[in-house]
Amino acid sequence: MDLRELYQDIILDHGRHPRNFGALSDASHFAHGHNPLCGDKVTIFVKLDGDRIVEARFEGHGCAISTASASLMTEVVKNKTLAEADALFQNFHTKVTGGEQIALPAALEDDGDRLEPLAGVKSYPARVKCATLAWHTFEAAMHAGSIAAAVKTE
Amino acid sequence: MDLRELYQDIILDHGRHPRNFGALSDASHFAHGHNPLCGDKVTIFVKLDGDRIVEARFEGHGCAISTASASLMTEVVKNKTLAEADALFQNFHTKVTGGEQIALPAALEDDGDRLEPLAGVKSYPARVKCATLAWHTFEAAMHAGSIAAAVKTE
Amino acid sequence: MTMLAPLRPVAGNSFDVAWIRREFPVFERNPGLVFLDTAASAQKPRSVIDGIAEFYRSDYANVHRGVYGLSARSTARFEGARETVRRFLNAADVSEIVFVRGATEGLNLVAQSWGATFLKPGDQVLLSALEHHSNIVPWQQLRDRLGLELVIVPLDSSGGLDVAAFERLLTPRTRLVAITHIANVTGHVVPAAALVRLAHARGAKILLDGCQAVPRLPVDVQALDCDFYVLSGHKCYGPTGIGVLYAKRAILDAMPPWQSGGDMITTVTFERTTYQEPPQRFEAGTPDISGAIGLALALDFMDQVGRTTIRDHEQALTRYARDRLATMPGVSVVGAGSECLGVVSFTVDGVHPHDLATIFDQSNVAIRAGHHCAQPLMDTLGLAATARASFGIYSDESDVDALVTAIRAAQRLFDRPVQG
Amino acid sequence: MTMLAPLRPVAGNSFDVAWIRREFPVFERNPGLVFLDTAASAQKPRSVIDGIAEFYRSDYANVHRGVYGLSARSTARFEGARETVRRFLNAADVSEIVFVRGATEGLNLVAQSWGATFLKPGDQVLLSALEHHSNIVPWQQLRDRLGLELVIVPLDSSGGLDVAAFERLLTPRTRLVAITHIANVTGHVVPAAALVRLAHARGAKILLDGCQAVPRLPVDVQALDCDFYVLSGHKCYGPTGIGVLYAKRAILDAMPPWQSGGDMITTVTFERTTYQEPPQRFEAGTPDISGAIGLALALDFMDQVGRTTIRDHEQALTRYARDRLATMPGVSVVGAGSECLGVVSFTVDGVHPHDLATIFDQSNVAIRAGHHCAQPLMDTLGLAATARASFGIYSDESDVDALVTAIRAAQRLFDRPVQG
Ligand SMILES: Cc1ncc(COP(=O)(O)O)c(C=O)c1O
Ligand SMILES: Cc1ncc(COP(=O)(O)O)c(C=O)c1O
C-alpha cells in the first residue's frame, strides 16, 4: 500500500497543527490515555452540558496518527450527545480495524466522512492502537463520571 | 556389551547376600549417603583404631551394583590404614569411570583385583554413581572426624 | 508449516499407530526403540520440530514492541498460540492463559503470587499423597514463610485418592486444594470435577496439576470449574521450556506480579512502576516465543488425532499392560487399575528397578526407575523405587510385549545360579 | 548437526558478511530484508535452527533421571551445553552456570534469592540511568518489600555512565551494584572492569547485565571479576526461552533456592525438603533442554566467526552508522559515540519514531521505535521515544545505507506541503 494512503494530507496537517490542543480548565471530565508499547500519551478533556458535549480538547505527545486522531476526534464530538459520540466511535472502530462496517445515522454521516482519512491504518495492524487511543481515553473519561480515569491500549 | 560383564556372578552374589551388612554399634565414624536421582541410600559405619580401619559395615537399600559395591568395599578396607583405603578408592574410581589408571602399591594389588568385577559399569555412565556411592560415603565418614556426615552423588 | 496427511481409517476404538509413529522422527532415527518414558517427557512429532524451525527461518523477531512486518508476524504467531491453548483447554478468555516454563514454574507462580498474597498463618493447603515434588515443595516453602498448615489426603486401598478422606479433611480453614489430575507414578485419575465441587462448597480454591492429564484426556477447564490448572508443554508433544498456567480471570486480576522486567509493565520511573493486565503482568521479559508456537503445533497435532481417540487408546493400552504384567510371576503392579491411565509402575522380585532399567536398555526398552519425583508417595507405598512404563500416542501393544520379554530376560539374568 | 563451512578469507578487519548472511535463513526467506533490530532479538543461524531440530529427531528424552541410552545422550548434550557456556564466559567452574529463561529471570532470581536473603533495610543498591526495565523493576519490588534504597548513577555529558559520580555514590551502605554492560538504547559500553574494582573496594557485590554485551564483546567473567552476570540466549543468536545466570560458586552456595520442584531437591518428605548443590538448586522442574543446546550451538557459531572479529565488525559498523546519520540534516543521534557499540538511537525532526518505523517497513527496513524498555533513561534524555537501529553479525554497510535512504524518504513524505 502506498504510504500516502496512510499519511494523507489531512493527517499530516492535523499532526503538525493539532486542533483543540491544550488543557481545558473547566472540564467536567477528563482521562489520561497511554500506549505503553510506544510511549504515546494523551489526556482528553471534555465539558458536558447534560448529555451534550459542549467542549473537547486534548494534550499529549505521540505520532502523527495518534495526534491527528485526537485532533479530529475533538472536532467531531463537539456539540454531539453522548449517544452520538458513541455511535461515531463504533463506526470509527470498525473503519480502522477493518471490521464489519456499522452504519451511521444520516445526521452523523458527514462527521463519519471527516474521520475517513484514518481508515488507512487498517492495513497497518501495529498502528491501529495509535488511531484508537484518543477514543478509548474519551470513553474512559465519560465512564469515569466526573472523576479522572486512566486507560491504556497496548 | 554383554550384560553378564556388568552383572558378573560376584556382583549378583554380593547383591543378594551382602557381607558386613547391618549397623555397627561401636562405630567411631559413620555417614549417610544418598543418590537422589534413583533413591539409593547407604549408611557406612567404620571403627578406627589409630589410623587403621578395624571394622567396616553398611546398611541401606539400593540396586545390585550399589549393594555389591558397598559389600565389597567393607571387605577390602578392613584392616587397612586410611592411606591404603584412600589408594584403593582412587584406583577404584579410575576403574569405574574409565579414567587413566592409577597404579596400586603391590601390597594392595589383590584387593584391587577383588574390586575388578565392578569395572563393567564404566560402559554404563548412568550407573557409575551407583558403584561409587559407598566409597564417597566412606570418605565423608572419614572426613567428618567422629561426627556423622551425609553425602550424595547425583 | 508441515501439515499432517489426513488420518487413516481407524479399526475399532483404535487408530493407525504405525502412521502416527511415522510422524515421530525419533523412531526412524532409533530403529527398534521401545520408548516407555512418555510420562517423563514425550517425543515430538515432525509438525512441531519442523514448525519451530520454519518459524525461525521465516517469521522470527521479538514480539509485542515491533512496528515492522516481521515482528507483527511473530507477534501474531505468538498470540495465536495463546488462543490455541485457550481453545484446547476451553478457557473462557485468552487472558487466562499465562505462558510459563513448565508446570513447576506455574506452581511456583501460584504459590508466590497468589499464595503469598491471600494466605494467612494458620490457613490450610490440602495436598494429596499422590503429588509430584513440584506440587509439594513450593507449598512447603510458603508454609515455612507464612506459617501455613499442609494437610495430606491419604490413598485409598487401590492406591488412588481417598475421596471420603478428602471430604473429611476439607475444613473452613482450607483455603486452597492443590492436587494432581493424574498421578505420575501410578496413573491414577482423580475425580477432578467432584473434587472441585467439594472444594468450592467449602469456600476453598482448587488447583489441578494437569501434567499427566493433558496429554491423555480431554480437559475443559470451564466444565471442571477449577480455579488454577497447570501443564508442561514437553509432556504433551511440545518443546521443552514452555508450559501454561490457567487461572480464572478474576483471580489473575487480583494477583500481584511475581517476576518483573520488560513486557509486564505499563510505566516505569525510578520511584514507581505500574503493571500490565493479565496475562502480560505475569510474563516478564522476552517470552519463549518459539516454545509457545511449538506447543500450539503440538496441541494442533493432538486435536488432529482426536482427544477422545487418544484417551481410548491410552486406556486400552494401559489395561493391556496391567493385565499382562499382573500375570507374570515375580512381578507386582503398583496400585489397582480401574482408574489408571497411561502409566504403570511395577517391581520385580529380586531385581532392583535401577538394574531393570539398565538391563532393558540393552534391548532398547526405555523405562524410568526410581522415585519419579514423588518421594512422599513412595514412602506411603513403602517402596524405595519402582520401574515405570508410560505410554504415548505412538505406543502400542508391541511395546508392552517388548517390555514383558525384557522383564523375562532380567529375571533370567538375575535368577541364575551364581558362584559365591 | 550441521557444521559450518570454514570461514572465508577476510579483508582487513572485516569478514565475509555475505557468507555469514547465507548462514541465516531469514534473509533467504525475506529477500530485501534490512534487519536493524538485533538488540531486541537476533536472527538465528542454520546451525542453531537445524541443530535443535536434529536434537529432537535423534537424541531427545528428559534429562538427569533416565538410565536408558536416549536419556543419557540427552543429558550429555544438556550438560555439555553448560560446559560450552562456561568456556564461552570463562567461568571457573561449570556449577557457576545456571540456566534461566532469560536475563529477566536471572535478575529476578538474584533479587529474590540473594537479595531477599542478604539485603537489610537501609541497604543501598546502585543502579544507573542507563538500565533496562528488567534491571530496575526487580530491585524496586525488593526495595518495597525490604526497605532498601535505590541509588541511581547519572549520565555524563556524552550520555554514558558518569564514572566520577559512580565512585562518589558508592558508600559503605552500598551492598550491590547492578549495571548494564552495554546500554540497550544508546550502545554505550560501561568500563565494567573498573566498576567491579571500585565496587569491590567498597565491599559491594556487583552484577553486570550482559544482554547487549555478550553478542558483541568477548566477555571473561574471571577477568572482569564480577559477582553476577546475566545474559539472554535469544540476543546472541540462540533460541528464545533460555538465558544464563553466572555467579561465583561461593555466592551460589550461600543462596537459598528460589523456585522449587523436581530436579532441585535431594530428599522430600511432607515435613522437610533438602536441596541440591548449585546449579541444580536453582533449576527447578524440567529445564529448557533444547534451549540450552540451541544456545550452545549459537555460542559455537560466534566462536567460529571469532569474538574479536565480531567486536571489530560491530565497532566499524557502528561508527559508520553514527557518522552517516550525524551528517544528515534534521537527524539527531542520541549520545556521543566513542564508546558505543552495536546500537544507534536517533530522532528525525518532524517525524515521530513510530511513524518512521512504519515508513521504513514499507522499504523492508526493520528498526525499533519507542522507549526500548528504558523509560527512566528516556525521561533523563527528555525524549518520549527514539528510533533505534542495531546491528548483528550479519549486518553491513549496505544496511546502514538503506536506513539513510529510508530516512530521506520519510523526510520527503512528511515535509511535503499539504492542504490544511
Ligand atoms: C540491557 C538489557 N537488559 C535486559 C533485557 C531483558 O532481556 P530478556 O527480555 O531477554 O529477559 C534486555 C533486552 O530486552 C536488555 O537489552
Ligand atoms: C504430575 C506432575 N507434576 C509436575 C511435574 C513437573 O513438570 P515440569 O518438570 O515439566 O515442570 C511433572 C513432571 O515431571 C508431573 O508428572
Tens of pLDDT along D159-196?
999 999 999 999 999 999 999 999 999 999 999 999 99
Q: Is the pLDDT at D65 greater than 70, yes or no?
A: yes
CB contacts of B37 in chain C (<8 Å) are 370
Tell which atom from ligand 1 comes closest to the C-alpha of D372: 14
> 530496575: which residue's cell?
D136
Task: Provide the greatest CA pair distance for chain B.
Answer: 44
| pLDDT surpassing 60 at residue B154 | no
Give the nearest ligand 1 atom to D183 CA: 1
Summarised one tens digit per residue, pLDDT across range D112-145 is 999 999 999 999 999 999 999 999 999 999 999 9
Q: Please tell me the distance between residue D164's alpha carbon and the centre of ligand 2 in angstroms.
A: 50
Q: Is the peptide bond before D279 cis (omega within 30 degrees of 0)?
A: yes
Span D78-93, average pLDDT: 98
pLDDT of amino acid D399: 97
Please count the CA atoms within 13 angstroms of the CA of C304 that sit on its side-chain side: 19
What is the distance between the alpha carbons of residues C394 and D269, in angstroms, rounded to a whole number? Answer: 35
| Domain B3-152 annotated CATH 3.90.1010.10 | yes
In this prediction, residue C276 carries a pLDDT of 84
- Report yes or no: C408 at the B interface, CB cutoff 8 Å: no
Interatomic CA distance for residues A83 and A87, integer angstroms: 6
Chain B residues in contact with D68 by the CB 8 A cut-off are: 126
Indicate the range of A102-106, C366-370, D58-62, D239-243 predicted with least confidence: A102-106
Report whether residue C186 contacts ligand 2, using a CB cutoff of 6 Å: no
Nearest to C208, CA basis, from C171, C248, C177, C250: C177
Flag whether residue C56 sits within 8 Å of chain D, measured between CB atoms. yes
| Contacts D72 to B, Cβ<8 Å | 125-126
In the structure grid, which three cell numbers stand for residue B61, read together?
Answer: 537399600
pLDDT 10s digits, D271-317? 777 788 899 999 999 999 999 999 999 999 999 999 999 999 999 99
Q: What's residue C14's pLDDT?
A: 55
Q: How far is CA C252 from the centre of its chain?
A: 21
- Answer yes or no: are the C-beta atoms of D176 and D115 closer than 8 Å: yes
Instruction: Kindly state the average pLDDT of the residues D364-376.
Output: 92
Residue A34 CB neighbour total at 10 angstroms: 23
C-alpha cell at B92: 577404584
Residue of A nearest to D384 (CA): A39
Helix (H) or strand (E) segment spanning residue D372: none
| Cβ–Cβ < 8 Å for C345, C335 | yes
Answer whether B34 sits within 8 Å of D71, measured CB to CB.
no
Contact C259 D57 (CB under 8 A): no
**Cβ contact C266–A36 (<8 Å):** yes
> How many Å apart are CA D191 and CA D204, to the nearest integer?
17
Nearest CA to ligand 1 atom 15: D211
Give the span between the Cα atoms of B141 and B43, in whole angstroms: 9
Closest residue CA from atom 7 of ligand 1? D103
Which of A5, A6, A7 best probes binding to D when mutated, by most D CB atoms within 10 angstroms?
A: A7
Best residue in A3, A65, A71 to probe D by mutation, most D CBs within 10 Å? A3
Q: Does the CB atom of residue C339 touch ligand 2 within 6 A?
A: no
Instruction: Kindly give, in sequence order, each residue whose CB lies less than 8 Å from that of residue C34, ignoring residues fewer than 6 positions away.
Output: C363, C364, C365, C366, C398, C399, C402, C403
The DSSP string of B60-129 is: EE--HHHHHHHHHHHHHHTT-BHHHHHHHHHHHHHHHHT-PPPPPPGGGHHHHHHTGGGGGGGG-GGGHH
Residue A59 above 60 pLDDT? yes
What pLDDT is stored for residue A152 in this prediction?
Answer: 57
Q: Predicted confidence band at A126 (pLDDT cuts at 50, 70, 90)?
A: confident
| Residue D248 vs residues D95, D228, D243, D258: alpha-carbon distances, Å | 9, 7, 17, 17
SS3 D2: coil
Is residue D44's pLDDT more than 90? yes
- Above 90 in pLDDT, residue B100? no
Residue, of D265 and D137, whose pLDDT is higher = D137
Distance CA A45, CA A52 (A): 14
| H or E element at residue C180 | strand C174-180
The reply to whether domains D17-44+306-413 and D51-303 share a CATH topology is no
**CATH fold of D17-44+306-413:** Aspartate Aminotransferase, domain 1 (3.90.1150)
Region B91-105: what's the mean pLDDT?
89
Q: In the prediction, which pLDDT does D418 show? A: 85
> How high is the pLDDT of residue A153?
55
Helical ranges in C306-338 per DSSP H: 307-326
Residues of chain C scoring pLDDT < 70? 1-14, 265, 337, 420
Per the CB < 8 Å rule, is A127 touching D354? yes
Joined together, the cell numbers standing for residue C198 give 467439594
Please report residues of B whose CB lies closer than 8 A to that of D65.
37-38
Residues of C annotated as catalytic (active site), given as ranges: 373
Per-domain boundaries in chain C: 17-44+306-413, 51-303
Residue B152 banded pLDDT, cuts 50, 70, 90: low
With the most atoms of ligand 1 within 8 angstroms of its CB, the residue from D136, D139, D211 to mutate is D211
| pLDDT attached to residue D113 | 95
Q: What is the average per-residue pLDDT within B64-77?
A: 96
Question: Which phi-psi region, left, alpha or beta, contains residue D218 (left: φ > 0; alpha: ψ -120 to 50)?
Answer: beta
Residue in C358, C413, C414 closest to B124 by CB: C358
* Distance of CA C192 from the midpoint of ligand 2 (Å): 18
- Chain D residues lying within 8 Å of C38, measured CB to CB: none
- Answer whether D242's CB lies under 8 Å from D82's CB: no
**How big is the CA angle at A11 (ends A10 and A13), to the nearest 5 degrees?**
65
**Residue C13's pLDDT is what?**
46
Query: How far away is chain C from the Cα of B63, in angstroms, using its nearest Cα?
Result: 5
Contact assignment for A38 to D416 by CB distance below 8 Å: no
Angle between helices A64-77 and A9-16 (to 10 degrees): 90
For residues C70 and D361, is the Cβ–Cβ distance under 8 A?
Answer: no
Return the CA Rg of chain A: 14
- What's chain D's average pLDDT? 93
Q: Which of D362, D384, D420 is nearest residue A13 as measured by Cβ atoms?
A: D420
Choice between A146 and D157, residue whose per-residue pLDDT is larger: D157
Which residue's CA is the closest to the ligand 2 atom numbered 12? C211
Chains with ≥3 Cβ pairs under 8 A against C? A, B, D
Query: What is the reported pLDDT for A57?
Result: 96
Comparison of pLDDT for C83 and A152, the residue scoring more: C83
Chain C hits for A152, CB-CB cut-off 8 Å, are 266
**CA–CA min distance A34, chain C (Å):** 8
CA separation for the pair A138, A30 (Å, rounded): 8
Q: Measuring CA to CA, how many Å separate C403 from each of A81, B85, C393?
A: 77, 42, 17
DSSP string, D290-301: HHHHHHHHHHHH
Decide if B39 touches D, using CB distance below 8 A. Answer: no
Atom of ligand 1 nearest to the CA of D106: 11
CA separation for the pair D390, D373 (Å, rounded): 15
Cα–Cα distance, D354 to A127 (Å, whole number): 9
Return the bridge partners of D340, or none: D188
> Residue A36: its pLDDT value, please?
73
Nearest Cα residue to D26 out of D4, D1, D48: D48
Alpha helices in D131-285 (DSSP H): 137-146, 163-169, 192-201, 221-224, 249-254
- Shortest Cα–Cα distance, B108 to chain D (Å): 33
Residue A149, pLDDT > 90, answer no
The architecture in CATH of the region D51-303 reads 3-Layer(aba) Sandwich (3.40)
Which residues are within 8 A (CB) of A104 and not within 5 positions of it... i.e. 6 or more apart?
A: A87, A88, A91, A111, A112
Phi and psi for B55 in degrees, rounded to 5?
-155, 140
Q: For the beta carbon of residue A98, count every other beta carbon within 10 angstroms.
A: 13
Predicted pLDDT of residue D2: 43
Asked if D251 and D261 count as a contact pair (C-beta separation under 8 A), the reply is no
Residue A146: the pLDDT is: 56
Taking only the tens place, the pLDDT of each residue in D379-396 is 888 898 999 999 999 999
From the list D337, D407, D333, the residue with the least C-alpha distance to D367 is D407
What is chain D's alpha carbon radius of gyration, rounded to the nearest angstrom?
22
CA distance C341 to C186: 8
CA distance C12 to chain D (A): 31
- Residue D142 contacts residue D119 (beta carbons within 8 Å): yes
Q: What cell was used for A101?
A: 462496517
Q: Whose CA is nearest to atom 12 of ligand 1?
A: D211
Residue spans of the domains in chain B: they are 3-152
Is B125 in Cβ contact with D72 (below 8 Å)? Answer: yes
Question: pLDDT band at residue D53, thresholds of 50, 70 and 90?
Answer: very high
Which of C351, C354, C418 is the closest to B13 by Cβ? C418
Distance D232 CA to ligand 1 centre (A): 7
Distance from CA of C40 to the nearest CA of B (A): 13
